[in-house]
Structure 1
Amino acid sequence: MTSEANDLSFYEEMADVKPLVVKEKFINSSSRPPSLAQTLKRQAIEKQTALDDNGLSIEYVNPVAPLDFISYKKDGVQEGVYKNLRLGKYHIDSRLVLKHLGFDDARLSLYQTITECHERGVRTLLIDHGIGKNSQPFPAFIKSYVNQWLQEMDAVIAFHTALKQHGGLGAVYVLLKKHPNQKLLNREKHQKR
């Protein structure tokens, strides 16, 4: 017999066969809400991804003392602008409290807040990092890292320890550079017609 004859005889034998009706015996996983364990695992993965992507150092830091002033100014920032920041003369548009946060949470919160503020056009914010006299593994642990992280961020052009009424040695004023959209709006606003 040839293969065509085999195929034909097979089809003839199968002509009266009806397919079985199979009832669904599986549960569609998308219709069930994720379990607590799945949700926590997903959140941990998302958090780790954000931590890995932000570029803020986790390595060695130069410790600062709990009662030290911290300050920084990029080249090109005018002295008058920096003096006004130092004296707390700028309106504080946003505030971030890092006290009582763990290292990873503080790092992630700082990065996300600075990034979001810059994108929204916020120029001045206050970061409350705390003095950290009793922090571990050394005093002023988070304060030391905030000092380093702010210097690593491109959007930050200056910062200085806050005045007493805004948190003193446990807080810092941060000045962000203008977002490109702000520069364009200012250019259009002040353009002579």
Structure 2
Amino acid sequence: MTSEEDPNDIGHFLRAIGDVRRLDHDRAEIRRPVPRSVARKRREDEAAVMHDLLSDPVNATDLQPGDELRFVRPGVGRRVFRNLRRGHYRIQDELDLHGLFASEARRTVAAFLAEARTHHRLCVRIVHGKGLRSRQQGPVLKGLLDHWLRQRDDVLAFCSALPADGGTGAVYVLIRRPPRP
């Protein structure tokens, strides 16, 4: 800029901003912001998976009265599971599901395990029965309990009890310690 140019001169202004395109109107184009994309189908699929996991399996009665239940979560030592199977841990609480319908049993098991964990009971026994009076259905509660316990993150392992503690009609359950406050 030379000393002769006036900074308020329109020509100076147009040279400063460069090439522009003249608008034929004085209205601004206001576009609504594009909403963030939401993977609705993915959320629906994840909700369906959770529902399926929490629902009772169709083939829960594939077990026979004499079949043993056993499950150990990855990371649980072999010695720990062997000691559980041999009944070496002190049973700190017990739940008997005899006479309960499946829906009642499910709620009862969930409440029992939550209370056991809250009170730092690490090994419990759940008596589900052998299913001898279930006619041709087989042991209904036994299969359902197997499914329910596998779903719970607070269950480290479970297995059928020793004959003196109910045999294949009961399970020992090893519960994860609650987090320290």
1:96 corresponds to:
95
Decide whether the 8 Å contact of 1:66 with 1:169 is kept in 2: yes
Percent identity at matched positions?
A: 33
1:80 corresponds to:
79
d(CA) in 1 for partners of 2:134 and 2:173?
23
Q: Name the count of aligned residue pairs.
A: 129
Decide whether the 8 Å contact of 2:64 with 2:138 is kept in 1: yes
For the pair 1:117 / 2:151, whether they are aligned, the reply is no
Larger Rg: 2
Residue 133 of structure 1 and its aligned partner are, at CA, apart by 2.0
Decide whether the 8 Å contact of 1:160 with 1:172 is kept in 2: yes
d(CA) in 2 for partners of 1:71 and 1:83?
11
1:14-43: CA deviation from partner (whole Å, max 9, x where unpaired): xxxxxxxxxxxxxxxxxxxxxxxxxxxxxx
Residue 136 of structure 1 and its aligned partner are, at CA, apart by 5.8
d(CA) in 2 for partners of 1:99 and 1:56?
22
Structure with more helix by fraction:
1
d(CA) in 2 for partners of 1:127 and 1:156?
13
Query: Of 50, 59, 63, which aligns to 1:61?
Result: 59
Matches within 5 A, 1:128-167: 128-135=127-134, 138-167=137-166
d(CA) in 2 for partners of 1:59 and 1:167?
24
> Unpaired runs of 5+ in structure 1?
1-52, 185-193
Distance 1:65 1:165, change over 3 A: same
For the pair 1:170 / 2:169, whether they are aligned, the reply is yes
Decide whether the 8 Å contact of 1:162 with 1:168 is kept in 2: yes
The residue type paired with residue 130 of structure 1 is G
Residue 61 of structure 1 and its aligned partner are, at CA, apart by 3.4
Decide whether the 8 Å contact of 1:56 with 1:107 is kept in 2: no
> Unpaired runs of 5+ in structure 2?
1-50
Residue 76 of structure 2 aligns to a residue in which SS?
coil
The residue type paired with residue 128 of structure 1 is V
d(CA) in 2 for partners of 1:152 and 1:64?
18
1:97-151: CA deviation from partner (whole Å, max 9, x where unpaired): 0011111111110011011111211100000000002316711111000011100
The residue type paired with residue 77 of structure 1 is V
Misfit runs of 4+, over 3 Å: none
d(CA) in 2 for partners of 1:61 and 1:156?
22
d(CA) in 2 for partners of 1:102 and 1:152?
20
Residue 180 of structure 1 aligns to a residue in which SS?
coil
2:21 corresponds to:
none
